[in-house]
């Protein structure tokens, strides 16, 4: 702990912000339930540390500064011992190395979509993953099918909200960050002097819209309690982005409403077996639509890089 703190303070004394890994469940501004079985070490930016005031200043997704106590940061950094108080400092970019790095990053993206992954099952990555997921949504026979892994009501609700969280909330701006990647391609077109990359960018914006449509299909408005669940999750997220820790009272109120709605859904789920099949069939259709859009986008991206 002492060495980890010393490294952080030395970095800040040098005038550089520090990227540290901290458990999101241990940081109070996230208002997440803390228990021994749940943790998630995520990078955050620490840009100020005042031991006398017992205050640490953090940049983490929100559009306003975030603060925690020195003890809260220490506990969050220590949550996973093997991370060893990991810290990263980003040097000033080297313009001469930037084009090669951008080009390598784009090719890595293409390969993850279309080739065997560096580690893990191929069906967990890229275009093959969409096809595999689509099958698991509607075919009850595989061991990892949604019918077996996410049985209604509690399991199904957990599956739907978990996917929605990762598509629309986890991170910052939703649309599975395809809009962000499209913006990167616009910049890469200038950096690499490849105008065709800017022509590919709209295809990934189309993909982002398809991901947003998937989010609505997971928790649709025409099934009122599910639509209300989506609304509460988005409201919580946007309150944090806009107000940070100052939004905690409202966030806790939303969490209470969400918990009550969850219990209502588990106790009286609004869909019978046929209704669940229809819901998951629609989700499957959206997943395959994303597959088709991104298959064309990746093909165009490969052509633009040749």
For residue 1, the model assigns a pLDDT of 86
Q: Which helix (H) or strand (E) holds 19?
A: strand 18-23
Strands 66-68 and 18-23: unpaired
For residues 142-155, average pLDDT: 97
Structural tokens at position 239 = 């309150």
Q: Is the pLDDT of residue 260 over 90?
A: yes
CATH architecture of the domain 2-88 equals Alpha-Beta Complex (3.90)
Digit-coded pLDDT (tens) for 262-305: 999 999 999 999 999 999 999 999 999 999 999 999 999 999 99
User: How long, in residues, is the chain?
Assistant: 306
Q: What is the mean pLDDT of residues 47-76?
A: 98
First to last CA, the chain: 49
Q: What is the pLDDT of residue 148?
A: 97
Mean pLDDT across 52-65: 98
d(CA 54, CA 74): 12
| pLDDT of 87 higher than 90 | yes
* Position 37 confidence tier, pLDDT thresholds 50, 70, 90: confident
Domains of the chain, by residue range, sit at 2-88, 98-305
Strand order in the sheet with 66-68: 66-68, 55-59, 41-50, 18-23, 87-88
User: Are the beta carbons of 48 and 12 closer than 8 angstroms?
Assistant: yes
Longest dimension (CA), the chain: 62
Residue 23 has pLDDT above 80, yes or no: yes
pTM of the predicted protein model: 0.93
């Amino acid at each position: 702990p002492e060495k980890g703190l010393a490294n952080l303070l030395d970095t800040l004394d040098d005038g550089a912000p520090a990227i540290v890994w901290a458990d999101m469940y241990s940081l109070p501004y996230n208002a997440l339930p803390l228990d021994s079985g749940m943790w998630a070490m995520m990078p955050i930016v620490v840009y100020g540390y005042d031991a006398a005031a017992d205050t640490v200043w953090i940049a983490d997704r929100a559009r306003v500064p975030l603060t925690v106590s020195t003890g809260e940061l220490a506990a969050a950094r220590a949550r996973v011992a093997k991370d060893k108080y990991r810290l990263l400092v980003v040097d000033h970019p080297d313009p001469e190395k930037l084009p090669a790095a951008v080009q390598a990053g784009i090719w890595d993206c293409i390969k993850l979509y279309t080739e065997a992954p560096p580690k893990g099952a191929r069906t967990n990555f890229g275009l093959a993953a969409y096809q595999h997921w689509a099958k698991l949504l509607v075919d009850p026979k595989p061991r990892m099918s949604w019918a077996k892994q996410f049985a209604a009501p509690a399991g199904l609700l957990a599956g739907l909200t978990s996917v929605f969280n990762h598509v629309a909330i986890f991170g910052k701006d939703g649309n599975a960050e395809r809009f962000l990647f499209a913006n990167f391609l616009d910049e890469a077109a200038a950096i690499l002097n490849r105008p065709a990359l800017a022509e590919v960018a709209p295809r990934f914006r189309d993909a982002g819209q398809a991901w947003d449509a998937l989010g609505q299909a997971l928790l649709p408005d025409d099934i009122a309690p599910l639509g209300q669940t989506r609304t509460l999750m988005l409201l919580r997220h946007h309150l944090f982005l806009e107000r940070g820790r100052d939004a905690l009272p409202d966030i806790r109120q939303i969490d209470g409403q969400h918990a009550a709605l969850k219990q209502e859904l588990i106790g009286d789920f609004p869909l019978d077996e046929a209704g669940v099949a229809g819901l998951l069939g629609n989700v499957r259709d959206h997943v395959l639509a994303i597959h088709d859009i991104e298959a064309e986008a990746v093909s165009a991206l490969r052509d633009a890089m040749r």
